[in-house]
Structure 1
Amino acid sequence: MYAILDIETTGGQFNEEGITEIAIYKFDGHEIVDQFISLVNPEKPIQPFVVKLTGINNAMLQSAPKFFEVAKRIIEMTQDCVIVAHNAQFDYRILRTEFSRLGYNFERQNLCTVELAKKLIPEQPSYSLGKLVRALGIPMADRHRASGDALATVKLFKMLLDKDLEKEIVKTFIKTEVEKGLAPKLLDIVSNIPSTTGIYYVHKEDGDIIYIGKSKNIKKRVNQHFTGSSRRDKKIQVEVFSVTYEETGSELIALLKESEEVKVNKPKYNRALTKTIFPFSLYQSKNKEGFISIKLQRTDARKNELASFASQAEGQSALFKITDKYVLCQKINHLEIVKTHCFPYEINQCNGACVDEESPEDYNIRVEDFLANNEYSNQNIIAVDRGRNLQERSAVLIENGVFQGIAFFDLNYQVNNIEILRNIITPMKNTRDAKNIILSYLKKKKVYKIISF
């Protein structure tokens, strides 16, 4: 659990500032579960430049509660939480100073979204909250007021969690749970997981990830691990300390994140997925007669494949459909091993390339037509699909035929403005697996829409 907060102060000399307003949003990594917003009477005058900046003046605070009157609520809101703030060193110092005046030692773990953003969104021209959220297309109201700044920090932190493919933020949080001795039982873990589409991460006590999976029903899938009798499931049952998750809404996003994050984190019980998940591929070559042949073979990382498949049967089925659609020859495509003509020739469904009744030039025109329409090479497209809630959408960005990454957005201008989209995208590697996941998904299933740019 995270306590995402922002504090406005009177200004003044170091450690002599007073709090004028505080906003705390309790955030479970997915949504806000509680909030506290209040003006605070600092019992000292506000510096004029601060009045101009925040709009908070001395008259507004005369009837506001003093810090000791809100201190208990602040402790309750931040208990067992990691404090998150933009420039956390400042907010945390102010809180500790105020509590020390009351004779209370206020200690919490804290995270700074400035430092996280510098690591996860590098090369931004500015990391001030206002300029950063503007670059990311995050809407912001009441700038320099605690509630507006804290809510913008919630949205920023949620985006940073998405971009943290190595899960360093979550691993750190799991370690704090261990220190507090909150080892949950399997039933407790399952009860806190939603029945939605997404990714789940199985952690052991030190926070390390031992398994990553995806499912259209995360709760059901995790429960299967905890009740399963396979060797892997039994090992997971022994070693699991916590399970974290990310809702994706889109199955395509879940597939891409699973493929990427298994390769990044290398969980010990995902060893099979660290290799290619598409072991069979189609390759083109020209035979000695000059015909372009399309053949299904074991995936070879040294070659450029036309398409890849999870099984040999799936690949053969696809090649039969391609051969039929473009009126190609089953013999040339190695779907039939015969000495004479292929079977479709007997029923007038092959133009006779296998018996020299069609020239390589005429035959290859149809092969080139297939090749030109086969994939998204050199295209600039955005695949828009469902998001994690009704107001949100997801985006998969392909630029110049290269898969760039994924993003979640809730405002159309975030996806219609390519510069903002590039900023909010979680970069992902343009691997063969990612490419084939996207191609396979777009062929079989419908996303909300495809935007070309």
Structure 2
Amino acid sequence: MYAIVDIETTGGRPSDDRITEIAIVLHDGSKVTGTYSTLVNPGRPIPYEITRLTGISDDMVREAPRFYEVARKIVELTDGKVFVAHNVRFDYSFLKSEFHSLGFNYQRKTLCTVRLSRKLIPGLPSYSLGKLCNSLQIPLNNRHRALGDAEATSKLFDKILRLDKPEEFTHLIDGEIRSQTLPPQISASQVMALPEEAGVYYFHDERGNVIYVGKSKNIRKRIMSHFAMDYKSRKSIEFKNSITDITYEVTGSELVALLLESDEIKRILPKYNSAQKRTGEFYGIYQQIDKNGYVNLYAQHIKHTNEEALVLLPSAMKAQNFLYRKVATFTLCLKMCNLHKIKGPCFDYQLKRCQGACIGKELPEIYNARVQEAIDSFSFQQENFVIIGKGRTQRENSVICVEKGVYKGFGYFDASGDGLSIEQVRKFVKPYAHNRDIQKIICGYLRKNQEDKLIRYATSTEVY
């Protein structure tokens, strides 16, 4: 038995928006056995653009039941049945969210007519409900109203049912129910073939374009968790439905995966990645020693100096706020951090938050020790080091290189190469760009107690 469901809503986000109409068409596998539909008062105004699309207005739902008043009926009608919908994760996620707000965990087996159509009726120009019905000469009345769309979906489901022999279709349905969390064009066998190793993975659209880049210690597990999520918006459902292929690159090292992901996002600028896309780095935090021997920190646009920045930040305001946080954390002086430009003691000295470096009361060596602690918390301290970690196989090591505080890149070399000099290991490093995200990744990684081997060196002739 199947419950074919369609809903209309106030918007595309199950976590924020509400249902305005629901229709359920019951199907026993050979014919329709009953229908149910009702408007639902969402308890909030319906946006104008939604009313234009669906025709459902605030006046129409004013006297309609609230969701909690129809929830029992929905539970009863769908109990013991497979929940069927066109783009099922959207309708199912909204119902789960509505039931969750009532303290009820709504769980049903689900089946998506988009996935079924793609599998059994390949080659169509579009699998949206309207265009699919047009291609298959299925009548679609009252488009974007719940009952009209649910009835059209039931006719589509009827047509799909008749494409295969009953026993073959039953086997197909069982497989599809188990695969419902997957994108329509991704098979379970494709996911199961993914490695359970650290690396970077790429989601591609039908044109082969990379639309998302991710990383994980376990590629298969991470991708399966991607697909198992209840999607929160139309955009997230659009993202999932756009995925037609998955590729990957095993890195062995978790840190290499983090670094490669960051670089690939900046290089490719995938449509559905939001973080780490910025490529311009504009302000740096620098240090200098004044005439009295105090280490001063200051923010400056990177174009105005040839000095190597301790850390890079994307704007003057972020750089200034960064310094304010370090002043508060390490009891630094506002004047010594170029944040208080007046004669005499800084404002914090009067509040007893500064120990008097601004007026020479605190000795330079004592103040500078705290400055160094602050620098240690966010920079590589202009160090030279390599990080030796896992490779892509047991016979291989990964190497990440930082010189004078600047990330140079990563590479791989034979794990049996004990006694190699840093210079020899360095030759295996493929160059990659240094930026604020990379510095943040490496600093964060070094603060943890990792298994990777950190080797600081003064000259490249040293042996690791």
TM-score band (shorter)? 0.3 to 0.5
Q: TM-score, normalised by structure 2?
A: 0.44
The structure with more radius of gyration: 2
